[in-house]
Structure 1
Amino acid sequence: MKRHLCLWFPNWPIQLQQVAEPEFRNRPLILTGTDRGREVVGACCRLAARCGVHPGLPVAEARTLLADRRHRASDACIQAGNSERDRDQLRRLAWSCESFSPLVGIEEREHPSSLLMEITGCGPCFGGEESLARQLQAVMAERGFQTRLGVADTIGVAWGVAHYARMRHPVVIIPANEQQVLHSLPIEALRLSAEVVHKFHTLDVRRVSQLLALPRKSLPSRFGRELVLRIDQALGAALELIVPERRPEPVVETWSSEFPIPATQALDVVVTKLLNRIVSRLSERQERIVGLCWQFRTEDRQSFDLALTLIRPSRDERHLLELLRLQCERTALPDGINRVRVEVTAFRPQSIEVQSLWGDNQEQNERDAVALIERLASRLGEDAVLRPRLCPEQQPELAFRYESAIRSRTVVRGGTPPVDDGHCRLSRPIWLKQRPVPVDVLSIIPDGPPCRLSWGRESHDVAQAWGPERITTGWWRGNQVRRDYYQVELTDGRRLWVFRDWSRKRWFLHAAFD
């Protein structure tokens, strides 16, 4: 009998986001999706769930629930989910598990969160099946992922145990106990649709043992053929195969010669031919380039490597050659090249692009922006071309960070900020001073809005003031920040952003509205 292992990543989209950006671990995080044209919660973390948020809830209601818990809502983050990225990262984890099993695949669901492995005969190589499962769980823990594992004869039982045994350590079911364990599981462990599960719950059928006690002949007509198939798969009466996730075949083209050539000839002739071959191969596979690596070797065995990362997958040879030439302007290649190697380090399946009959200025503007960023990064270096990213942080000077525009591989569309904290704010200035400037303030009302501001040799009367807006940071930050911000309009028309620092009992000028 074959043996199978199920590796489940609970709340996979949230885990993936928190591993990529650890600052979200201590804040309510919601990933959105669409349902019948509505924006709904696709996934949420435990902090958001404690506020009453759950998948399928309209985002507007989720914001209201978070607003009722203000100590959490101020740090909440709402982002758009990306199921394609989630599946791609799960596929990469499947590749990394090939050292534990020669056959690793992804569960066949619309939004998968589990890996399936056939481990027949693999246990002795790791000191037993339980040791294999523990080592696999430890590897995932080192990467920051929480997992649940189940091992059984059939994929169905392994999946059910991993999801519903509620054990943090791996659960290994020996063949003699498999039937007993299956009977004790809830009917959800059979991988049934939500509609079928709801029907059984209305009949007060909640355990697999109760379901199996029903007349088998009446099940297909009342609940569909999927139910009988899932039962047979769990019992081992129906064959279920794992579709393996194989690493893609490397795409590499090489040129070598006994007679060295100048660098210009290597670029103009050799690289052009190699790129043409690569593009032809990817066209047959319906894939596009995301990353490229060029390696030039000289006759005295010196090697020069150049790497290229694209924001938008492409097969445009002219664009790729232009980016390579821009890189060579930054790192001059020597003459005497006798070997050139071009390898595609990353690629994506070709997607279908729907074009408007009347044109789409926003789409064209985005393409132009992507091309510009890629050219600048090739000429100046990836770390020289940055984009600001909003962070779920209340302290204004810490509410953003700079990241590589290339490595982030995103271009923000107009009007859609990448982070939303879920509550209204006063308008913010675009530019902050590098350091808040101390100012002297005259107020008519104690602890009230400023009526006159003075700094240096300047003194100005305030015509209008709006506020205060209280901004505080969490106790876990150490030195807590507690400020009251005001927007003030001076008599000369200028608008400033000032705050009172309650810890230092001082006023500061933080920004001006241009």
Structure 2
Amino acid sequence: MLWACILLPQLAMDGVLRHCADSQAPLVLLAGPPQRRILQAVNPAARALGLRPGQALTAAQALTTEFTTADYDQAAIDRWQRFLAAWAYGFSAQVSLRYPRCLLLEVHSSLGLFGPWPVFEARLREELTTLGFQHRITAAPNPAAARVLANARDGLAVFDDKELLQALHPLPVARLGLPEAAATAFSRMGIRQLQQLLALPRDSLAKRFSAEVLLHLDTVFGRRPLALEFYSPPDVFDTRLELNFEVESHQALLFPLRRLTADLAAYLAGRDSGVQRFTLHLEHRNQADSLVVVGLLSAERDAAMLFEFSRGRLEHQQLSAPVLAVRLVARDLPPFVPQHQQLFDERPQQSQPWEQLRERLRARLGDDAVYGLTHRADHRPERSWTQDEIKTPLPTCAPRPGWLLVEPEPLSESGLRILSGPERIESGWWDGGDVRRDYYVVETRFGQKGWAFRAVGSGQLMLHGWFS
């Protein structure tokens, strides 16, 4: 087997930075009681100002005030780890959250789908970078070894036990994941590397140290299996993004909206499903949330399209009060069926499929502004159709114009040429709308093609529609 370890060394910082419009601005995460706030983590821009983890907030403010702060939230770290587990579920059915700020994936069974490990690894890195998370990725024959190798070097991959021994032997004992007391004791004994530790008699180690030491070493070398509980993605996507200030315009909501829809797309890809309906909750102070419901006619999961649909609906929403947070909830998650395409697509690259254009128009103009047509069992042209969902095609029949006039208009016969006809339509005697007409396909002297009729017994030609 082959296991991959994705270590997320700055998960707390990345979770905050991905919600900031300027990710390069100095930022520090604070921990500790209100009386003594401590810098728990700093980004590179803050480090360049002389700020360091463990520094008191008062000391940092004495150096500079050109940085922003956020709380170091353990609950947020756990939430982001579960979010990334849902993303990783799209690559492997066996995803574990056993270690903090780390994902374990069984990838051997996925190589046939995603390609050899270098290609697979490159895809993982690309998507993690797009999502905004720093990472270290290693691979090993067992999950415990993969986690230990992540402490050694990013990108390290071994595929058999012999290579694993060679990679593990020079590792520092302090980076093996041993209990802290045991690691400290080995350091005082002058044992710095794993190969020195393995040279000690096993019986002596068992007598002098807890059983956890030998158990951990056996697990790392694959002699004992590591019991893992595998992650199962939830059936509901529910994510909330708290804003740093009160937002009063739609434009300022676009950045958090783009991030939320991108997260939704990553979650859907992991579940191999789409979304057909979701709700945006715009949270205000001291009043009920404003709801923006986004409903689609078919399942979708493309991040750009989900953002575009949401943006169109959001722009029609009147903000009754400043927005403090945005929450996205998606419960209707049907299976996603990709659109079938021709091998040689003759569609211009700048155009888009009809399904996406349809949803874009509905988002911009409203649900009632875009509709389809369906036939009605009536021969009278003005009553032979009705509005319907954009799914039912019209039946094939004699040529009919694409533009039917609201009221027929008199048509001059000067220079007019009859192309076909007459086609008699006689109907409606039962409802008081009796018509008796002879229809013709005509062409004007300007080349326009129309649809005209004469009432039976009358000589006046009436225009009823134009052909495209």
Provide TM-score, normalisation by structure 1: 0.46
Provide TM-score, normalisation by structure 2: 0.50
Larger Rg: 2
Choose between structure 1 and 2: higher helix proportion: 1
